[in-house]
Chains A and B, each alone.
Chain A
Amino acid sequence: MKKPLLALIGLIFVGFLIDLSFDAFIQLTLIYVLINMILAMSLNLVSGFTGQFSLGHAGFMAAGAYASAFLSTIFPMNPGPMQFVYFLFYAIAGGAVAGLAGYLVGLPTLRLRGDYLAIVTLGFGEIIRVILLNTKTVGGARGMYGITGPTDFTLGSWTISKFLIGYAHAIFWVVACFVVIWRIIRSHHGRAFLSVREDEIAAEAMGIHTTQTKVRAFVLSSFFAGVAGSIFAHYANYLNPASFSFNRSVDAVIMVVLGGMGSLSGSLMAATIITILPEALRPLQEITGVDLRMVIYSLALILLMILRPKGLMGTKEVNEFWRKYVRKTS
């Protein structure tokens, strides 16, 4: 993790290989995995590291997605080599809108504790969805369609595919989100987040402004949720308020808990599993004749919680396991 730029270039190269060897369905699923990774990591900042309980993450994702899609109708994209820059711009704008929403929601409500906070965030998530449902300019219940997305373009003799652009954009944000959260947790701001999680009263006694700390975490988390929304909007080219229902917020929480509260690499793993599992279970339907996917999914969830209550990774990161393993063998 010392050289994020190198990692990014490496991952983009992997994307290039995927582009050559897999079909569009697997590519689409991969993009969804990346989006969920950003979503899970951003929620982990609030839930895992700061110990606050949010059930409205889909609302911030929706805010970012719609803001970014709406922006792309005002500043239409130029389908050339510069499109990457446009997407970056849309994503930052979408993230900013979501961050602002996070600030407005967070400021009055983060004084609340535990379950009350969960319910209030749930309420805000629903309110954002109902507002979108009733806004004609973004399509209401029909949804917003024909949102500009990445397109193929040629660069000299090279054809850069639409997937590669979308992938590069998504992976850029995954790396950015990972690095930003990773660095913050190891800075004095991050220590403040952790202290709020561990013991709010003690943190306050040590001179930490707890509400302000929580709001900071919340805004940053909303920003990345908005970015995830923006990537989603431009790759799917279609938005519908129903996509940002309570269930998506729950999915995000599931990813965080499954991966381990306070483990970024855990979030990455859990996002991959949660996105792929329902797709992987699809062939079952042909064998059994009835759609048991979601039944199995929910059972797996219950069993995982009982058998592995700390999630896959606990609060540890992959490299800590790695280090331990190396030490043991040498």
Chain B
Amino acid sequence: MQDFIQHLINGISLGSIYALIALGYTMVFGILQLINFAHSDVYMIGAFAAYYAARTLGIDKNPGVSTLVILLIAAMAACSLLGFTIERLAYRPLRKAPKLNILITAIGVSLFLQYSGQVVFGADPKVFPAVLEDSVLFTLLGVEFKSLDLAVLFVTLVMMVLLHLLIYHTKLGRAMRAVSTNMNVAAMMGVNTDRIISFTFVVGSALAGVGSVLVGMKYPKIDPLMGMMIGLKAFVAAVLGGIGNIAGAVLGALIMGLSEEMVVGYLSSTYRDALAFGILIVILIFRPAGLLGKGGVEKV
């Protein structure tokens, strides 16, 4: 029983990290129908931005809430800027091009960030500064609840609520939804679609920045290829929940985290990665638009 609860907590905390990254994927997909492969590398850049910020400001040795806030701002700023630049330089010229082209461009950007990361930062892993003191907050049924895990969960929830407010209760959010439903009609109604798309990239990338600091805090090892696997899994989570749907991304991420955890805990650890994809395939076969996704109506 105790280890079951422990697995449950591990799974939720892993899932909440997937969720933060999945949110970025799902937002961009919702608007552009583009799998933004570069998202996981934007996340990597965020981690390095926070790392260098902490070192230049000399706060890499004193953990605390203020450090967390500073690093979050640094990572979010760097990621937003990068997301904006990528959209402007690489994706915007291809707005009218076939989907596969934009996808290849996204892969190109992703490779570019990874390999130039290896040249600029070096390929060896770096140690992420201590951001928060990890302490046991309370013990329940013999299982310890750690401040880090709860902080990650808390920040994820806050981000999700903020995102929800942004999308459903502001003018900008309405414009975003309009663009995602039909770009041309939205443009006719006076929405500046280019600006909305830029804004979406900025917000999505900022979320990646938040994710990078939280992951760095929990798993303090960063390297230029750190985004690859976690990005892939987060993306799978987004698809699982119904890509383009914010609650779906979080739900999918939690399912991913929990199922990975339970597979290792009670079945086989060797097939962990395979089973994550297996679950995805089974779900997509029965619900082709993901768990919370709306099946599109086929128009002639």
Contacts and interface: CB of A to CB of B under 8 A. Distances in A.
Tell me, yes or no, whether A and B come into direct contact in the complex with CB atoms closer than 8 A: yes
Interface of A: 47, 53, 108-109, 111-116, 118-120, 122-124, 126-127, 130-131, 134, 201-202, 246, 250, 253-254, 257-258, 261, 290-292, 294-295, 297-299, 301-302, 305-306, 309
A292 B119 contact: yes
B277 A114 contact: no
Contact of A309 (B97, B111, B119, B285): B97
Nearest to B35: A115
Interface in B213-254: 232, 235-236, 239, 243
Contacts of A298: 108-109, 111-112, 115
Chain B facing A: main interface SS: helix
Nearest to B111: A298
Given A254-B104, A298-B115, A301-B107, 19 more contacts: A53-B100, A109-B281, A119-B235, A123-B236, A123-B280, A127-B274, A127-B277, A130-B270, A130-B274, A202-B300, A291-B119, A299-B108, A301-B108, A302-B108, A302-B109, A302-B112, A305-B94, A305-B97, A309-B98
A303 to B, nearest CB: 9
Given A114-B99, A305-B105, A127 B278 contact: yes
18 contacts: A47-B100, A53-B100, A109-B281, A119-B235, A126-B277, A134-B271, A201-B300, A202-B300, A246-B232, A253-B100, A254-B104, A294-B111, A298-B115, A299-B108, A302-B109, A305-B108, A306-B90, A306-B105
A254 B108 CA distance: 9
Contacts of B108: 298-299, 301-302, 305
Q: Which has the most chain A C-beta neighbours within 10 Å: B33, B239, B289?
A: B239
Nearest to A115: B35
B270 A123 contact: no
A202 B284 CA distance: 25
B286 to A, nearest CB: 10
A295 B119 contact: yes
B170 interface: no
Contacts of A258: 104
Given A257-B100, A257-B101, A309-B98, A119 B239 contact: yes
A290 B115 contact: no
A302 B105 contact: yes
A258 B98 CA distance: 12
A127 B236 CA distance: 14
Contacts of B235: 119
Contacts of A126: 273-274, 277
Contacts of A305: 94, 97, 101-102, 104-105, 108
Contact of B243 (A115, A124, A261, A302): A115
Contacts of B236: 119, 123
